Amino acid sequence: MSKRLTIAVAAALVCAGSALGQGTTPSTAPKQAENQKETQPTKLLPGDKAPTLSVEKWFKGEPVTGFEKGRVYVVEFWATWCGPCIAVFPHLSELQKEYKSKGVTVIGVNIWERPLNDQTFDKVKAFVDKQGDKMSYAVAFDGMARNMTRTYMEAAGRGGIPSAFIVDKESKIAWIGHPAEMDEPLKQVVAGTWDASKARSAAEVEMAVQEVISKNRTDPEAMLTAFDELESRMPAAKPQIDAFRWRIYSMTGQADKALAMARPLIEKAIADKNAAALNDYSWTMVDPDGPFPKDKIDTDLAFRAATKAVEFTNEKDGAIIDTLARVYFVKGNIDKAIEWQTKAVAVAPPGMKEQLEEVLDEYKAAKTKG
């Protein structure tokens, strides 16, 4: 997002592979070595046995050789060139710290590096070492064989990163999605209350939506038509389809259609306590470099989404508080903008704090100018 880092990703982009905000599969990805292929499901969905954990090397942390029954694992995929991936490092570290005593192991698997050759490991290791405490969990390298890419990402139809897989206590896939949306599923998986069958149905819908996106990446109108056809065949896909419609309308200058689509989506996100989605809806509307003309911004709607996002994150997420401050600024309440931006700076992790301080200076300068 403009002028700041954030782990919050649009609900419309939770489906990995979207060209709107996630890293996508490099077109020059190396082929899988024939002698290293293993049997795998045609599609990997929640409820399926987790594929073998097979990485080339480990960058940091205790190497994990396999999934131990009774433990929960998060397997997350990332690359050094992927901005949204880097933005979630601190959040993954927080989850590892929070759940370590409850038998949870977080593993970050590096994939899709460009170029991928004999020097790639050393280059990525230098990058990982530089992250320090921002990556306080086990980190591995998929490597030339691309075993993890194939058995996880490709099998699950994931065309974008960051992507995360939760492996439950029975060594089965429990959930697949964007790590920014992982908190509640992980909490339930650890507690033993997660509904894997419901998650499987949701994943099947997500795969169908992803297929439409993959086939129509460069043609928004064709994508909208394809979504209409998919909805007629699979009514259960409507919520995810509407989230993408909102994004397409926003990015193609159809503000009125986008806002009409956003209102029910925001109410659903509030009902689901989906802070990441609420933050994205609000920020998209008030982003100074975003798609909405000033005369088309619904500041009341943006305010409702932003305040709920802050509430659901207990005022602990700097990026989300930053959005609320921007809404106040757009509404003309500079004092409130300064108040909330100050809070955002106070709770922001290193790396984000400096960017949020620049925005705070912007608001203070605006107040001085009257």
- Residues 303-326 pLDDT 10s: 999 999 999 999 999 999 999 999
- Model pLDDT for residues 115-136, shown as the tens digit of each residue: 999 999 999 999 999 999 999 9
Do 128 and 113 meet the contact criterion of CB atoms below 8 Å apart?
no
CA distance 307 to 282: 9
**244-265, pLDDT tens digit by residue?**
999 999 999 999 999 999 999 9
User: Given a cut of 50, is residue 10 above it in pLDDT?
Assistant: no
Q: What is the pTM of this model?
A: 0.67
CA distances from 183 to 65, 180, 274, 312 (A): 25, 7, 10, 12
Please give the biggest Cα pair distance in the chain: 69
For the chain, the 3-state helix, strand and coil shares in percent, each to the nearest 5, are 55, 10, 35
State the amino acid at position 294 in one-letter form.
Answer: K
- Write down the residue that tokens 């997350």 correspond to: 76
**What pLDDT is stored for residue 24 in this prediction?**
56
pLDDT in tens, 181-215: 899 999 999 999 999 899 999 888 888 998 899 89
Helices and strands counted in the chain (H then E)? 14, 8
CA–CA separation, 160 and 40 (whole Å): 20
DSSP state at residue 166: E
**Residue type at 230?**
L
Domains in the chain, CATH or no CATH each: 11-194 (3.40.30.10), 200-369 (1.25.40.10)
Average pLDDT score over the chain: 88
